A and B are shown apart, each in its own frame.
Chain A
Amino acid sequence: MRLTYLAPLIVFVLIGLGLAVGLTLNPREIPSALIGKPVPDFSLPPVVEGGQGLSSADLRAGDGPSLVNVFASWCVPCRVEHPLIMALAREGIAPVHGLNYKDKPADVAKWLDQLGNPFARTGADRDGRVGIDWGVYGVPETFVVDGAGRIVCKHVGPLMQWDVDNKIRPLLDDLKAGRASSVKC
């Protein structure tokens, strides 16, 4: 058997191995360029009258890590993850803030009324400009921000129980304990 006749097989085996590894990866997971960077400067009014608005100062206040959940009343996956966000807020391991993306005040008020309001603070990003600064390209997205106001992690798409148990909660625990985290974002 001459080697040249084996070459196609060898090339194919290499490609096949690559594809096998590729199957274990998620091409939709795009790392955020903002990881490790301070949150962008912004200041947003609250979504409901009388509520507390959200600004970069709140996130840099230094009272421990927090979560920023980008949501909208028109977004169906947001509805899916909402019970988990409620549970996280009730658990109280970190304040959960809401960044309400391109929404109408009446719609979001109704939405929070019906499903419950898990957010310590909310910011109404009516025209989506702050969303652009945060690199939001779809709702929902969830950011983990450390006490100094740096973005540590970004989750794209609805949070699932698995994500909370294996990513969000361990990361928050590590941040609170002040140790370097092995959680991959």
Chain B
Amino acid sequence: MAGELGHIALILALALALVQGVLPVIGAARGIPGWIALAPGAAFGQAALVAFAFGCLTYAYVTSDFSVLNVAENSHTLKPLLYKISGVWGNHEGSLLLWILILSIFGAAVALFGGNLPAALKARVLGVQGLIAVGFLSFILFTSNPFSRLLPPPLEGRGLNPLLQDPGLAFHPPFLYLGYVGFSVAFSFAVAALLEGRVDPAWARWVRPWTLAAWCFLTIGIALGSWWAYYELGWGGWWFWDPVENASFMPWLAGTALLHSAIVVEKRDTLKSWTVLLAILTFSLSLLGTFLVRSGVINSVHAFATDPTRGVFILIFLAVVVGGSLLLYALRAPALQAVGVFAPVSREGALVLNNLLLAVGAAAVLLGTLYPLALDAVSGAKVSVGPQYFNAVFVPLMAPLLAAVAVGPLLAWKRGDLAAAFARLLPAAATVVIGLLAALWLIDGRSLLALLGIALGLWLTVGALCELGLRIKLFGAPLGDSLRRARGLPRAAWGMTVAHFGVGLLVLGITVSGTWQVEVQRIMKPGEIAAVGPVQYRFAGVSPIKGPNYTALQGRFEVIEGGRVTQLLTPAQRRYLQPPMETTEAAIRPSPVADLYAVLGEGDEQRGWAVRLYWKPLVSWIWLGALGMAFGGFLSLSDRRHRVGAPAGRRAAAPVAAE
């Protein structure tokens, strides 16, 4: 019964989305108040209906209703409750429903919080949101119905892929989709602005919080995915330049650029058509990611099971949405006139550089991701583009960007003074020199790239602190005065500092863990000791254990640090019952200094066990840095300027002027 109700709710939601996508847009163009006023109600209704449908599917999963095909294919009665729920989005149909749910929630949120938007703009924005929802709701109803019945129902379900039965992955898709779909709001604002033919600082002020929220979620989503790959796949790496990873990374790069260029529109009323284009491209890349993951055009470790009709549907949808919006852009953007002018060396100039490098970075990732596909289409040759390409292209692009991150915030708007900015960054420069000397001493013949990474990481972290110190006049005024200034600093300023500091941590984590990691692969018999970097692992043996829906062989490794056993690591090989599958569970002891990481491979008592043991210095800084970036974003989002909207901003006169 729940299945049918959910299905009907989706059909009703499609009808409502059609109303929302058509009438308010026409109403705004023709000036029909009644039609304009329809938009918020339709958005709320659509969100409620989709939420109801999602609830129905979740109910079917929780109660293990195997008469629903989707549940029978992806669930199992023995699964823990968390994974019964996360199983809802652990498959194509359910994850699409989650995508639509988040889309409709964002639509409702715009309706709810957009009280200060002009009615016509709001109607257009919600109308575009509605049209996107029409596309996705038709997609799910016509090609991927999650509520299809299965008669007769099987007694037991097929189970969820054990690799997905993991807390990191349970929350990875929701965050990722909050990011992907969140960019739809920026897209809708961009299309609405093109329809109106007007982009001004007020528009940027409305777009920025939505972009920022989406960006924060996407950052967390990507970080969770990479963390999952790190500890669940047991390969010891954390990023593989897999096409599906790239699919999430491209919108992130474009979104990061959008985030920064919107500041320029807001403060200086220029870079308008570029910002609109970025808003369109960011969401387009999100859609492209969806296409790549679900259509079967690429082969990847985590592409969904695929079906050509779905691919055709998404491609047509992509053509309509992206092609349509880019056509609108070609027609309308030339009319968007820039007002503010600026010198190359200025805050705007730095942000343009940021945009340029991020956009080229996104294009490079796009090229690397699509190149195998293009080559196959043209010549039938099968290739794959590996990390070598991405590292070769990405490092030269990101290095100047990262170097500029510390300088940009110290430049004034319109015309900046580079020499003065560098003078203020002297502490950062000094730290870089000391760090480089230390690294040279430690590095004994390792790569130049490592030195570059260390230099950039230190430059970024200390540079972010320098900027903060200057703002609060640390050492330039009595300490109490500085603390008062720190308290008075707008949240947005704190957010920027924290986020840029996070980037620095990320760079340091990547560099140090990549350069100084120690990996030992060998056969070990119980009782043997292996030295891995500064620690030793003593292999104590293997014993069988039993979990809720798996059995496992668990290895025991005693970690010896400074002559004492400090830790017991228990990597395991799990054998799941349904679906029958073996997974490798790495055992990890994370710490801010160095992660210890052990993987148990094949073997037996006589011949010993194949094991992989690692010592990974600073690797946790990668995720710490990513979380710092997201946290900085949320801090900035909580700035009252965003909270209470444009006109009220003036009321919040902070003790210290922000800019």
Contact = CB atoms under 8 A, between A and B. Distances in A.
B360 interface: no
B315 A19 contact: yes
A1 B297 contact: no
Given A16-B315, A27-B299, A8 B370 contact: no
A22 B284 CA distance: 18
11 contacts: A1-B331, A5-B334, A6-B330, A8-B280, A8-B329, A9-B327, A9-B330, A13-B323, A15-B288, A19-B373, A25-B376
A106 interface: no
B260 to A, nearest CB: 19
Interface in A6-58: 6, 8-9, 12-13, 15-16, 18-23, 25, 27-28, 30-31
A2 interface: yes
B264 to A, nearest CB: 19
A12 B326 contact: yes
Top 9 A-B residue pairs of the complex, sorted by shortest distance between their CB atoms: A27-B299, A21-B377, A9-B326, A22-B297, A22-B373, A6-B330, A5-B330, A23-B311, A5-B333
Contacts of A27: 296-299, 373, 376
Interface in A90-138: none
B297 A25 contact: yes
A2 B334 contact: yes
Nearest to B332: A5
Given A5-B330, A22-B377, A12 B284 contact: yes
A5 B373 contact: no
A16 B299 contact: no
Interface of B is mostly: helix
A28 B299 contact: yes
Given A12-B322, A20-B315, A27-B296, A5 B382 contact: no
B29 interface: no
Given A8-B329, A9-B329, 12 more contacts: A8-B281, A9-B327, A9-B330, A16-B318, A16-B319, A19-B291, A20-B315, A22-B373, A23-B312, A23-B315, A25-B377, A31-B382
Interface of A: 1-2, 5-6, 8-9, 12-13, 15-16, 18-23, 25, 27-28, 30-31
B374 interface: yes
Nearest to A14: B374
Contacts of B281: 8
Contacts of A28: 299
B295 interface: yes
A52 to B, nearest CB: 33
Nearest to B303: A27
Contacts of A23: 295-297, 308, 311-312, 315
Counting chain B CB atoms within 10 Å of each CB, the highest count among A1, A15, A28, A30 belongs to A15
Contacts of B297: 19, 22-23, 25, 27
B421 interface: no
Interface in B357-404: 370, 373-374, 376-377, 382
A13 B330 CA distance: 13
B609 to A, nearest CB: 19
A25 B380 CA distance: 9
Contacts of B373: 18-19, 22, 25, 27
Given A13-B323, A27-B298, A22 B376 contact: yes
A2 B370 CA distance: 28
B377 to A, nearest CB: 4
B181 to A, nearest CB: 20
A139 B318 CA distance: 37
Interface in B277-314: 277, 280-281, 284, 288, 291, 295-299, 308, 311-312
Counting chain B CB atoms within 10 Å of each CB, the highest count among A2, A5, A21 belongs to A5
Contacts of A13: 323
Contacts of B91: none
Contacts of B291: 19
B74 interface: no
B636 interface: no
A18 B277 CA distance: 22
A1 B333 CA distance: 9
Contacts, number: 72
Contacts of B326: 8-9, 12
A31 B381 CA distance: 9
A12 B377 contact: no
Counting chain B CB atoms within 10 Å of each CB, the highest count among A5, A25, A27 belongs to A27
Nearest to B291: A19
B375 to A, nearest CB: 10
Contacts of B144: none
Contacts of A22: 297-298, 373-374, 376-377
A12 B323 contact: yes
B584 interface: no
A20 B291 CA distance: 11
Contacts of B330: 1, 5-6, 8-9
A49 B322 CA distance: 64
Contacts of B376: 22, 25, 27
B354 interface: no
A185 to B, nearest CB: 12
B578 interface: no
Contacts of B370: 15, 18-19
B46 interface: no
A56 to B, nearest CB: 27
Contacts of B299: 27-28
Contacts of A12: 284, 322-323, 326
B382 A18 contact: no
A16 B315 CA distance: 8
Nearest to B243: A27
Nearest to B284: A12
A9 B277 CA distance: 11
B273 interface: yes
Counting chain B CB atoms within 10 Å of each CB, the highest count among A6, A22, A31 belongs to A22
Contacts of A15: 288, 370
Contacts of B288: 15
B283 to A, nearest CB: 13
A31 B383 CA distance: 11
A97 to B, nearest CB: 28
Contact of A18 (B298, B322, B374): B374
Contacts of A31: 382
A8 B308 contact: no
B318 A8 contact: no
Nearest to B295: A23
Contacts of B329: 5, 8-9
A16 B308 CA distance: 16
B274 to A, nearest CB: 11
A72 to B, nearest CB: 15
Contacts of A21: 377
B327 to A, nearest CB: 6
A140 B299 CA distance: 19
Contacts of A2: 334
Contacts of B382: 30-31
A18 B291 CA distance: 13
